[in-house]
Amino acid sequence: MSRADVTTRATAGADAARRIVVAGAWLRTGSAAPGVLRVRPLAGEATASYIQRLVDVYQLTFPQLLHGVGIDLHGHGALPAAELHLNHAAAQHLAVLARTPLPHLTHALPHLALLGDAHGTGAAARWTRLKTEQQPVRACTLCTRHRSHDATNTAWVHATPHRLMCPRHHQAAPDPRLTSTVRTWAAPELATAHHTHQRLLRHPRAATAWTAARAITTRWYDHQQHLTHRWRMRLNQLCATNPHLTTAGSASPALLTRDLVIYPETVALAGALATLPNRPHSTANDALTLIACRLGLTRLPPNANDPLRVFLTHTRH
């Protein structure tokens, strides 16, 4: 055996011993103790995902970790179909273990402390089933590994529209049914749209414009209107670089990647809707001409039932 092998084994043994000592200290105490390692949460991360990463870092089981910091676990569940909700006392215990102030932890973990506290109750965590539209999605694997001391590359986040993808590592997870992230480097316009979206967030009408834009582009996508050729090409690019999209169960790649495929045009449309001039004599046709230019189209057909025309005619005015 070489000197390098001896050193490697000695280091691994020391790490394992340290984790055993730490785990033993937790199990001997009835309340939380500060952890040895600081594991930073991801923005919007599911509480269960964050705790699972702590479990992976300290090489414990889920019940061992929670019991060790004095949290009673109720029910059963698994990500992404269920989320772990902690009461305030349990959230405080977790913050001590994480060596992170509770307000910072609550800001990063949107579902952290959603259980009401009865007077005198102890620290408790409960698994809760989530509806499909509430389920978290896979986080960027490289960001996760960086924040997990290389212990895991798996994390789940409750994604918001402006965090649909990671432009730094060109990964996205637009649907909770995907167990692997989607590599987006073959469609660089997605990263460009992400940066544009961040700037759009500063506009006072950004939220309402985004809601309207997404409803409109989703309708266009589902009914194959206006941008079908462009979206098919983007879908084919994503499928070519992500073969797992075609083996993700009963859902089709077109459905699994819909939010991602329409993302650049949704951002462009939201930007146009947020900044449309409120001129007294402007018409829906004027707005359609402007929006067609923003979307890179020659024109938008004057269909009275088109959702964009309906919005401009009956909602905006």
Q: What is the DSSP string of 203-265?
A: STTHHHHHHHHHHHHHHHHHTT-SSHHHHHHHHHHHHHH-GGGGGSSSS-HHHHTHHHHTHHH
pTM above 0.85? no
Distance of CA 314 to the CA centre of its chain: 34
Sheet holding 171-172, edge to edge: 165-166, 171-172, 182-183
Neighbours of 145 (CB within 10 A): 15
Neighbours of 187 (CB within 10 A): 24
Six-digit token pair at 116?
Answer: 């009401």
pLDDT digits (tens, 9 = 90+) for 135-189: 999 999 999 999 999 999 999 999 888 889 999 999 999 888 888 999 999 999 9
pLDDT digits (tens, 9 = 90+) for 46-75: 999 999 999 999 999 989 999 999 999 999
pLDDT digits (tens, 9 = 90+) for 4-50: 443 444 444 445 434 433 444 444 444 556 778 889 999 999 999 99
